[in-house]
Each structure stands twice: as structure tokens, then as C-alpha cells.
A and B are shown apart, each in its own frame.
Chain A
Amino acid sequence: MNFLFITTVLFMLTALQARLPGAAWLGGLRLELVPALVVYAALTLRTGGAIAFAFAAGLLQDSLSAGPFGLNAVVYATITAVLTGLHDVLDRELPWMQMGAGALMTGAATTAAGCVVGFSFGAVLKLAALVVFSTVITPAMFLGLDGLRYLFRRDA
């Protein structure tokens, strides 16, 4: 797969995440798109490339955040290492598999963040909302990016 393509998508999604306003109907929560992209890379790229991409994606997100630098990088790379280790049993084409991976990635990242800022009732609600969103958006990410890959594929 074109690494340049997915890296460009990463930069654009990260920038979009930094510019998007909060959703008023979600109590001002801002929807996170990068975890879904990291899951896509984890289930598409080979192990080394996927982990490197996940680590870079986390560093990029952390550089545009006031949180501990490298926290998301370590979490994304760790979950990616887990997902790539289960390549033999995971079928990336199954939507529920994509949804589960998306929920796992976001759940791990938000739990790590919660460990830093502290858990409260509101924090748990926030975590649940973000996991639900990621569960929904990850299959859409797969659909969109796989479609783009097919569109720009090089014919044999």
C-alpha cells in the first residue's frame, strides 16, 4: 500500500481533529478520527510498518496536545502490536472485527488518558462516548480508504 498516501491522510485527519469544534449534542466532546486510521494501518500494513505508523501517529497527535508527550504513541503502538500479532485470527474484512479493533484502540487511549487526569463519572461517560464513536467510524474509515486504494490502484 502507498505509505505516502496513508501518511498524508494521517496529517490531514490530525489537522482536522485540531480544527473541529466540539459537538454540542455530546456536551462539547470533540470526535477523534486518528485512532480509526491507526486501526486501519494495523490491519493493513505489515507488522513493522504498522507499529512505526502507529507510533508516529501518536507522536503527531501528542505534539498538538497539552497531554504527556508520547502517551498516545505508546498506546497506539502497543495496541497495534497486539493486533498485528493476531493477524492470523483477525479478518480485516469483517465489519464487526473492525469495530472491535476501533473500540479497543480508543478504549486503551482514553483509559491511559484517564489514568493521568483521574477518573470521575463524567470521565467515564466521555470514555464511553468516544469508544462508541470509534466503533462506528472505524468501518467507515475502512470503507473510505479501501475505496480510495481501489480507485488509485495501479493496474497490472
Chain B
Amino acid sequence: MKRQNWVIIGTLVAGWIIFLGQPNVVSTTLRALMANLATPFVKLGDLIPVVHSRRELHQENIKLRADNAALRQQLNTLAEAGRENFRLHELLTLKQHVAPRTLGAHVIGRDTANWWRSIQLDRGSQDGLRDNLAVLSADGLVGKIITVTKAEARVVLLTDPNCKVSAYLQDTRATGIVAGSPTALAAEPQCDMTYVQRNVKIRRGEAVITSGLGGVFPKGILIGTVASAQLNPQTGMYQDIAIKPAVDFHRLEEVLVILE
């Protein structure tokens, strides 16, 4: 192979390590530029010719789905608030629960690689989105925003190992950390909950809820249900729980972004 090709390879690797491999101005700007170039082509998938009346039905369907999603999330949150009220009977006053401000968005694309799990939304910074906003659907927690450009945003899914959520088991109130399972099949995504105390009795099917710790994910959002539990084989000090996510990530079409 020619020497100049080796020089090119070395330059590319060095350039990646210095400029692109780390979050900095160069990589952020370049990522935004490439995403803005690619997004119109991704959105081309939405151009399906429909008859006028079908278009109206389709738009009404989208609106109703968004309303339904917001209402179901309120139900989940109110159920959690009711449990807290029962547990904390000494409280003299109740803090009034105010529904957070949310923004609906369509899923327009998925991760182009098979090693990471993310989705692309059709909303961006011009709509008020920014990094580290929680994203949910009618069924539960979806993930959080990791990058935002003017007109689109990328959401890392709960089933990605890079998305870590502080959570607790709804019945026993035992806490732990939920993250995507790297070994799960894409067809059957799964999360793992770790650092759960070994003496906690875990019931299959028990709901797993966000704890609100960390400041990213609000408290009380359904993550999934317990599929199985076992003692951590390496340390023996904690239990590892396999969680079946509440959200069907293959069928995600609309999501809600929590703006505050």
C-alpha cells in the first residue's frame, strides 16, 4: 500500500481522537450540520399521497393520540401521587400536583447503527427543546434528548446502555439504577436494574418507576415491569433485575417531551 495512504489513515485517526471523538465545538457543529443535511431526506418517508378525507382523519388521529398520551401520563402520575398520600398520612397539607409542560413530537427516524438505540424527533431548538429533557409516551418512559439541532432532536432510548435512570420498585420502594441491556436482542429490548439491595423481596410483574433523583427524569413515570431477578454473581451484594419496558419501542410514532 502506498505510503501516502498510511499518512492519510494516521491523520484521520489522530483527527478523530483530537477533534471528533470528544464533545467539543467542532464535533457538535459538524454533527448538527450533517444532521440538518440528512433530515430532509429522512422526512421524505412521510410523503405518502393520501386522499383529502383520509388526510383529515389522519390529522385527527394524530391529535387524539397526543391527547390520549397526555391523559394517560397524568393518570400514571396521579396514581403515584395517591400512593404517596397513603404512605405519608402524617402530611397536613398536600403539595398541589401540576402537570408539567410538554411538547408532542413525531418519530421520524431511528438509529442508523445497530449498536445504539435512539430515535430522531421532528422538533428541535426552535421549538424549545434542549439536551437532557425527558421523553415519554402514553405507555411510559422513552428516554432523554442527547443532541438538538434547530429542527430535529435525537433521543437515546431507555434500552440503550448509555441511558441510565434512577428508579425504584413501586411496591417495595427499593431503589436502583436502570439502564439498557447491551446483550438483549433488538427484537426483545430489555433493561437491567442494578444495585438493588439483596434482602428485598421482588415480585415478578412489579412496576418500576422513576425516582426523580438526578434531575432529568420526573418522579413517578412508569419504566416497565420486573421480568426476573437474581443475585449479582460477581459481588453477591446486590440483586440484578431484568425489566420488560412498558413502551413498545418498535411502534413508537409520537412522543411527549417534558419541557420543565
Across the interface, do A28 and B12 meet the contact criterion of CB distance under 8 Å? Answer: no
Q: Counting chain A CB atoms within 10 Å of each CB, which of B4, B38, B44 scores highest?
A: B38
The smallest beta-carbon distance between B133 and chain A, in angstroms, is 15
A65 to B154, CA, bound (A): 8
Bin the interface of chain B by size: 35 or more
A100-124, CB < 8 A from B? 110, 113-114, 116-118, 120-123
The smallest beta-carbon distance between A85 and chain B, in angstroms, is 3
Q: Which stretch in B116-124, B207-215, B228-236 binds the other chain? A: B116-124
Across the interface, do A66 and B16 meet the contact criterion of CB distance under 8 Å? Answer: no
A19 to B109, CA, bound (A): 5
Across the interface, do A64 and B9 meet the contact criterion of CB distance under 8 Å? Answer: no
A63 to B112, CA, bound (A): 9
The smallest beta-carbon distance between B16 and chain A, in angstroms, is 4
Across the interface, do A64 and B35 meet the contact criterion of CB distance under 8 Å? Answer: yes
| A117 neighbours in B (Cβ, 8 Å) | 115-116, 161, 182
The smallest beta-carbon distance between B2 and chain A, in angstroms, is 5
A2-31, CB < 8 A from B? 11-12, 14-15, 17-19, 21-22, 24, 27-30
B26-40, CB < 8 A from A? 27, 30-35, 37-38
Give chain A's interface residues, CB within 8 Å of chain B: 11-12, 14-15, 17-19, 21-22, 24, 27-30, 32, 34, 47, 51, 55, 59-74, 77-78, 81-82, 84-86, 110, 113-114, 116-118, 120-123, 126, 130
6 additional A-B residue pairs with CB within 8 Å, beyond A82-B1, A82-B9: A30-B110, A34-B112, A51-B8, A61-B112, A67-B111, A81-B1
Give chain B's interface residues, CB within 8 Å of chain A: 1-2, 4-6, 8-9, 12-13, 16, 19-21, 27, 30-35, 37-38, 41-42, 44-45, 109-118, 120, 146, 154, 156, 160-162, 182-189, 250
Q: List 20 A-B contacts (CB under 8 A).
A: A15-B44, A18-B111, A18-B112, A18-B120, A19-B45, A28-B187, A34-B112, A59-B34, A61-B113, A63-B34, A65-B113, A66-B154, A66-B162, A69-B27, A70-B19, A70-B27, A81-B1, A81-B6, A81-B9, A126-B115
Lowest 5 CB-CB distances: which A-B pairs, in order? A28-B186, A70-B20, A28-B187, A85-B1, A63-B34
